[in-house]
Structure 1
Amino acid sequence: MNENALTAFLALAETGSFQNAARAMGVSNASLSRYVVQAEDHTGLVLFHRSRNSSTLTRAGQEFLPIAQALREDLDRYATRVSGLRETGPGTLLIGCGPLTTRTLILPVLGAVRRTMPDLRFRILVSAYARPLDLLQEGEFDLFLGDLTYTPEAEDVEIIVMEKQPIQFVAHRDHEIHQLGPQTMAGIFDFPFASPHLHKHWRAALTKALGGGAEAVKKVDAQPHIECDDYNLLTGLLAEPEFIVGGMPDTFAELIRAKTAKPVSMKQNLTWNICAARKSQNTSAAVELVWNEFAKYRA
């Protein structure tokens, strides 16, 4: 059924008046009548009882009405999705990720994927998401890469646990902590500390590393002094000997090579808890390609 015939049927069913339905569609009475005939021809049903002043649905018309309404909703969804394609362009992949992953995993994976699919576009959405699998299921991402401490029941989601890597703590080369020898987490927190959001998993891990008592909880609750998911800001803090910043070694590699910052020597190490996730159904060639690249970093 063409869209004009569908719209004419729904308009006449709602108003009961050819004149009012035609006015609602912005067409003449003759055009509306022609579209209604097209709807009846398409369905093979008499949809309206016609009289001089009004039209009412036949029994067949009443039974067809919810079908037509569902079709209208489908067409509206179609229009919305096409409009979205126009805004983002064809072949745009949405990747949600945590701030620890951008240099360590996202950059090398993007490079590998673009060699195979150079026209593929990406939107990389970086944040310490609290409920990433919910957002994945709702279609906010095509893939997610980050901490999955929160894992709701998600039967249609595939997860890859990535190879664990140590968290590195870095300070300006002239920071006094470098003169104090290998440090515990308690020693790190004696100085101003900056990092992305410390969610439940990290707070539990840090509390345990500090001994797990009430003082440990109090100390962790006071961290970080500066919280930001943008590592450009966090590494910028290392320009002066004040803050210690936690992150992945790749994030600090350029600063360390330039000798403006140094890793803090540690007695104990923390490792990340990073996973990749995607829906197990309705995947695309682009999603499959990125997923296979993520799989190369599997634990």
Structure 2
Amino acid sequence: MSITLRQMRAFSVVARTASFTIAARQLNLTQSAVSMLVQQLEDTMGLKLFDRTRNAITLTEAGRQLLPLARRMLDDLRQIEEGASDLRTLRSGMLRVVAPQLMACTWVAGVLGRFEQAHPTVGLRLVDATADDIVGTVRRGDAELGIGPERPTGDDVTRSFLMNVPMRLVCAASHPLAERQTVSWHELRDERWVVYSGDFSRYVEQRLHEHDTSLSMQTATEVSYLTTALALVGTGMGVATVPDYARGFAGNFGIRFIALRAPALNREFFVYQRRGLALSPAAEAFAQMLRRAGTRRGAAAQAA
């Protein structure tokens, strides 16, 4: 027979109260049950813990020496129980998220702000990366959740749909198209493009060819980050197609956002996580908040 927590609790309370009767009331047990638990503990350890007389119950020398250890173990257990409760109720924990750089400082930042207001004692680690690095960051365990456009996942990472994001043409404020509300891809045949992701460029080319095999993008410059692409577009080095959530930076870079047509492009965004691994309570709560926000954003984009 192994030592149980019920036995250790009974031993500790009887030692504190010096009474099986009082201990039984505090433990919500019968007196005989408390006596049995203490007897089982003594039998298991091969030590007598209490001297029992008609008028008193006192600790033996072995009982006095073992009592601090028992109380320390019960206190550690209490701390574990409290810690687990804090994690479940989001009074503690750590949220680790990775998102594309510009998405991280725009749309994701807004959702994180609402999450922090709801759960101010949960810590946060936000990794801002390129869209091509999202899956790898989740795979390495550097983030529990990833947010980003469609990318190959392999067998160890899974994804779930989050939202559709409209793609817009971005040009310099001085560009001849800058005052237009919409522009067709045929009107962009002679434009030079600033490209910020090889995977995204291949996606756009594929969609264009599906619509019209004569459509393509003539690359002028290739960079790693979307913010750099926006800055170069602002200098007049070319145009780019970017997610609509980046329009908050139009004033910073002197650029204009224009709706694309023939074809209009929407990019699917997903939530990524390690396959087969349970999310922490903080990550699960944030994922639910993300999906609600994604649903609202998708509905707003369709209305626009």
TM-score range, shorter chain: 0.5 to 0.7
Q: Aligned AA for 1:169?
A: L
Give the gaps of 5 or more residues in structure 2.
1-91, 299-304
Q: Aligned AA for 1:263?
A: F
Instruction: Identify the residue that residue 140 of structure 2 maps to in structure 1.
Output: 138
Inter-partner Cα distance in structure 1 for 2:253 and 2:141: 43
Instruction: Identify the residue that residue 207 of structure 2 maps to in structure 1.
Output: 208
Q: Aligned AA for 2:183?
A: Q
C-alpha root-mean-square deviation of aligned residues, in Å?
A: 3.4
Contact 2:107–2:245 (CA under 8 A) maintained in structure 1: no
Contact 1:103–1:251 (CA under 8 A) maintained in structure 2: no
Instruction: Identify the residue that residue 247 of structure 1 maps to in structure 2.
Output: 242
Instruction: Identify the residue that residue 185 of structure 1 maps to in structure 2.
Output: 185
Using the TM superposition, give the Cα deviation of residue 164 of structure 1 relative to its aligned residue in structure 2, in angstroms: 0.8
User: How many residues are treated as equivalent by the alignment?
Assistant: 201
Using the TM superposition, give the Cα deviation of residue 103 of structure 1 relative to its aligned residue in structure 2, in angstroms: 4.5
Instruction: Identify the residue that residue 223 of structure 1 maps to in structure 2.
Output: 219
Instruction: Identify the residue that residue 7 of structure 2 maps to in structure 1.
Output: none
Instruction: Identify the residue that residue 278 of structure 1 maps to in structure 2.
Output: 273
Inter-partner Cα distance in structure 2 for 1:224 and 1:161: 32
Give the gaps of 5 or more residues in structure 1.
1-89
Using the TM superposition, give the Cα deviation of residue 205 of structure 1 relative to its aligned residue in structure 2, in angstroms: 3.6
Instruction: Identify the residue that residue 292 of structure 1 maps to in structure 2.
Output: 288
Instruction: Identify the residue that residue 112 of structure 1 maps to in structure 2.
Output: 114
2:129 is aligned with 1:126:
yes
More displaced, 235-244 or 265-274?
235-244
Contact 1:104–1:251 (CA under 8 A) maintained in structure 2: yes
Using the TM superposition, give the Cα deviation of residue 174 of structure 1 relative to its aligned residue in structure 2, in angstroms: 1.5
Match for residue 266 of structure 1 among 256, 260, 281: 260
Query: Larger Cα Rg: Structure 1 or Structure 2?
Result: 2
Contact 2:173–2:234 (CA under 8 A) maintained in structure 1: no
What does the per-residue CA deviation read over 1:104-138, in whole Å, with 9 as the maximum and x for residues that have no partner? Answer: 531122111111232412232311226x4454243
Q: Aligned AA for 2:282?
A: A
Instruction: Identify the residue that residue 46 of structure 2 maps to in structure 1.
Output: none
Inter-partner Cα distance in structure 2 for 1:259 and 1:281: 41
Using the TM superposition, give the Cα deviation of residue 197 of structure 1 relative to its aligned residue in structure 2, in angstroms: 0.6
Contact 1:172–1:241 (CA under 8 A) maintained in structure 2: yes
SS of alignment partner, residue 176 of structure 1: coil
Inter-partner Cα distance in structure 2 for 1:141 and 1:229: 20
Sort the Cα spacing of 1:134 and 1:172 in 2 relative to 1 into closer, same or farther, 3 A.
Answer: closer
What does the per-residue CA deviation read over 1:75-103, in whole Å, with 9 as the maximum and x for residues that have no partner? Answer: xxxxxxxxxxxxxxx95533222346325
2:88 is aligned with 1:94:
no
Using the TM superposition, give the Cα deviation of residue 191 of structure 1 relative to its aligned residue in structure 2, in angstroms: 2.2
Using the TM superposition, give the Cα deviation of residue 180 of structure 1 relative to its aligned residue in structure 2, in angstroms: 8.3
SS of alignment partner, residue 253 of structure 1: helix
Instruction: Identify the residue that residue 196 of structure 2 maps to in structure 1.
Output: 196
